[in-house]
Amino acid sequence: MDEIEYVWSVLGGDAALTTRVARAARPEVLEARLPVRALASACVGACALAAAELAARRAAPGGVPAVRVDDGAVAAAFTSERHLRIGGREPVSFAPLSRLWRTADGWVRTHANYPHHRARLLAALGLARDTEDARAVDAVGSLLAGLPARSVEETVYAAGGAAVALRTPEEWAASEQGRAVAGRPLVERGVLDASPARTFAPVPPSAGALLPAAGLRVLDLTRVIAGPVATRTLALLGADVLRVDPPGLPELPDQHVDTGFGKRSATLDLTCDQAAFEELLGAADVVVTGYRPGSLDRFGLSPRALAARRPGLVVARLSAWGAYGPWAGRRGFDSLVQVGTGIAALEGTADRPGALPAQALDHGTGYLLAAGVLRALTEQSRHGGSRYVEVALARTAAWLSAGPAPDGASGAGRPHGVGGSSTMGTGSGAHRVCAAGDAGGPGDAGDAGGPGASPWLRERESPLGRLRYALPPVRFEGGPTDWERAPGPWGADAARWV
């Protein structure tokens, strides 16, 4: 079973449809010890096939359109933040305190891109939150050098910050959270009630590109990368996507630009504007959440609570560590999950942890989530029922970390590992070692996607200035090739449907 067949089976798709997918392999991109390129192409390919399937259900009587996955387009999209230019300016990437630190007994990774996480990290270590960056780096480095890594992890987490100690794959697999993650499917799906089958308005094939999500309203309650990648993809496919954030918790500006294509952005305080939210929910078809499991439950935003108020809804949820196990409530980001699950150890050397050539857990999980939503919509049109879809960065990491089969092996008996198929090669074996502030993250945009990245980039004007950006990799015959809407300022739109 190759990777796209595996992902498609996890999504509940008809195995016969995978013959509609063709792949242009480019071994020179996303090189790593782990089969990152295989994972990336499989996630994008399954998402494109789910889009093509829904398009056929709505508007393509000739059958499911052909899907083409090009590794070059996939690599550019998985490193989109490195290609982005805003008025000619390179985006701000990882903050000075977001990095690997050597500790008394190993390594720890911190994430402090958001001001509140930076403040909590400094407070946990007894440092003033207004400490200037250069002095903070020196002070944190000196403190952590004398502390055990797992002690730092627990102290920072207890203070509301984000830090994870380096673990080997074996240590992660033996941990309670590692075992909990390993026991779950790559994409969790289910039916919440017996709502009637969804009836779609037809999408005329003559009305331009096939847009399988046209007419659907998606309420986007996600942040950072994976969730916004999923909703950005749904916007590409024609959905009206409204991203809603708390007014006191703004997104990082450049990150908002990179993942904001096709969407509108509004702010809403759920603690005092519940009526406004209920009005949005009453007309929504899909709700996507990306906050820590349980953190939105007090607002009535669990899948069952949402479906009870809006029967026929699709609820999609993303988390870092999974909605189960002792780490279910912990904060997490791609770079932290790489360190905690053993990926950084696998990609590094004896002297220093490494990193993947892209934030592949974020991007891959985002496309898996979008694919799950699209398949849920197709299944609703046949069988009805409010539905839920759940994914986790740590579960995607487990799939990747299962590793490739040896060269020439068939991959038989490895349904949960990437790279077991000769058609989805594993790269050259090159790896990338983290520098002090690196997360397998931003580098020079000219080489971020590997050779030949430029065909997958485009420029356009926007309310934020002239943008250079990576084109979407989700492609099928007759489908869209770019977003209709450029991103605008964060929170500038009204919290209502068009």
User: Which of 71, 240, 285, 362 is an active site residue?
Assistant: 362
Rounded to an integer, what distance in angstroms lies between the CA atom of residue 390 and that of residue 288?
10
The torsion of the CA quartet 289, 292, 294, 298, rounded to 10 degrees, works out to -70
Rounded to an integer, what distance in angstroms lies between the CA atom of residue 45 and that of residue 371?
9
Would you call 176 exposed, middle or buried from its count of C-beta atoms within 10 A (0-12, 13-18, 19+)?
exposed
From first CA to last CA, the distance across the chain in angstroms is 43
Amino acid at 11: L
Would you call 149 exposed, middle or buried from its count of C-beta atoms within 10 A (0-12, 13-18, 19+)?
buried
Over 224-236, what HEC string results? Answer: CCHHHHHHHHHHH
Amino acid at 7: V
Rounded to an integer, what distance in angstroms lies between the CA atom of residue 312 and that of residue 196?
7
Beta strand residue intervals within 353-461, DSSP E:
354-355, 387-392, 432-433, 457-460
Q: Answer yes or no: 447 catalytic.
A: no
Catalytic machinery residues: 362
